Amino acid sequence: MNQKAWSFKAVGQDDLRYFGNNGYQDDSTSFYRYDNFVPNHKQVKKGDIVIITDRKNILGISVIDSLSSSSYIKIRNRCPHENCTPAKLTHRKFKKPEWRCSNGHEFNRPNAEDTSAVEFKAEYKKNYKPINSVSITDLISNTLRYNVQSSIQEINFEWASNLFGDIIQLAPTEADSDDTTLEAEDQRKAVIRQIKQRRGQKAFRDSLITQAAQCAVSNCAIVDILEAAHITAYKNDTHNHISNGLLLRCDMHTLYDLDLFSIEPDSFLIYFAPQIQDKEYTRYHGKKLHVAYKVNRGALVERWKRFTEMYGPLHLIIKAIQV
């Protein structure tokens, strides 16, 4: 299955603008309902990444756990004027008549038409996480064919995948458990898919490999286990410049994502968090980062600030690790 990414616009009944129907009952943190009259309804699949929004804000991100469907009778509001098929109806709370169609007809109430339809319910509660660091503008810029009226729109999968990876991260102790049972072949495919996602966007990774096909910390040159790490969280294509990236061995990438090591922005020296005492990693403590290109200093400063806020000033970090 070709995994895709979608935006779901969740609009409450008290915030409807176009009243062709009476809306849907959604829980933005758990599930999203739509029907076969909604564009792209056939394309959404289990396993797709979804970003949930309202009209002005991004609310959260997740992956579809299950997708169900059922037949129902949909009530569609129609302009009562003969042969009028407007694009939209508007309900005016403070003006009479209360209703107006986009063709200019005004009326007291619309005609209610019963139509056979199929309702879909996409559930995504398991992996849902709220988002407060990405704007609607970012989302629009990564929407493939943006339409302000569409409630389900396809978005750039690589962008959504990177965003999902930045937000939904395992705490160090959470990596030990997995309650999912898979057949051997399914498990192999899942592992390959995860490796591809972890490596990062292909063009971004390839550009880093072109600079130096080795881990910027360990000098490991096994290309198959090298991954493209963002210094600051991926937000749009401008963040895929090599100056915002490091080529890291897969385990180093995980440690970096968890802020278990950082790079001092002026000296380019590598420092590990005090709880990292394994000699496999501490032997790189205080060593210089291996890069042959200009790294974005502002990006390093942002990460370093977060690191020192978590673990204290540099002299305490140095003292905590016995190399």
Helix or strand (DSSP H, E) at 263: strand 261-263
The full set of domain ranges for the chain reads 5-162, 180-320
Position 311 scores a pLDDT of 86
Q: Which two tokens stand for residue 248?
A: 């890291």
Q: How confident is the model at residue 127 (pLDDT cuts 50, 70, 90)?
A: confident
Mean pLDDT for 31-41 is 91
Mean pLDDT for 176-191 is 51
Respond yes or no on whether the N-terminal peptide bond of residue 97 is cis (omega within 30° of 0).
yes
User: Taking a C-beta distance cutoff of 8 angstroms, is the pair 64, 114 a contact?
Assistant: no
Distance CA 307, CA 229 (A): 16
Q: Where are the alpha helices (DSSP H) in the chain?
A: 136-141, 157-167, 184-199, 202-211, 250-257, 279-282, 297-311, 314-320
Position 222 scores a pLDDT of 92
Whether residue 197 has pLDDT greater than 80: no
Residue type at position 67: L
Mean pLDDT for 103-128 is 90
Distance CA 142, CA 144 (A): 6
DSSP state of 216: T
DSSP state of 90: E
Per-residue pLDDT reduced to its tens digit, 46-104: 999 999 998 788 999 999 999 999 998 888 888 999 889 887 888 888 889 988 998 99
Average pLDDT, the chain: 81
Position 194 scores a pLDDT of 52
- Parallel/antiparallel/unpaired status of strands 99-101 and 106-107: antiparallel
Q: Which is more confidently placed, 171 or 34?
A: 34
Distance CA 12, CA 261 (A): 43
Position 240 scores a pLDDT of 67
Give the highest mean pLDDT range of 85-94, 155-164, 263-272: 263-272
What proportions of the chain, in percent to the nearest 5, are helix, strand and coil?
30, 25, 45
Distance CA 185, CA 19 (A): 48
Q: How confident is the model at residue 241 (pLDDT cuts 50, 70, 90)?
A: confident
Q: Which is more confidently placed, 323 or 159?
A: 159
Position 68 scores a pLDDT of 93
Distance CA 24, CA 33 (A): 6
User: Taking a C-beta distance cutoff of 8 angstroms, is the pair 47, 3 a contact?
Assistant: yes
Whether residue 1 has pLDDT greater than 60: no
Position 171 scores a pLDDT of 41
User: Taking a C-beta distance cutoff of 8 angstroms, is the pair 245, 228 a contact?
Assistant: yes
Residue that has been written with the tokens 């200093």 in this structure: 297
Position 202 scores a pLDDT of 75
Distance CA 131, CA 124 (A): 15
Position 319 scores a pLDDT of 65
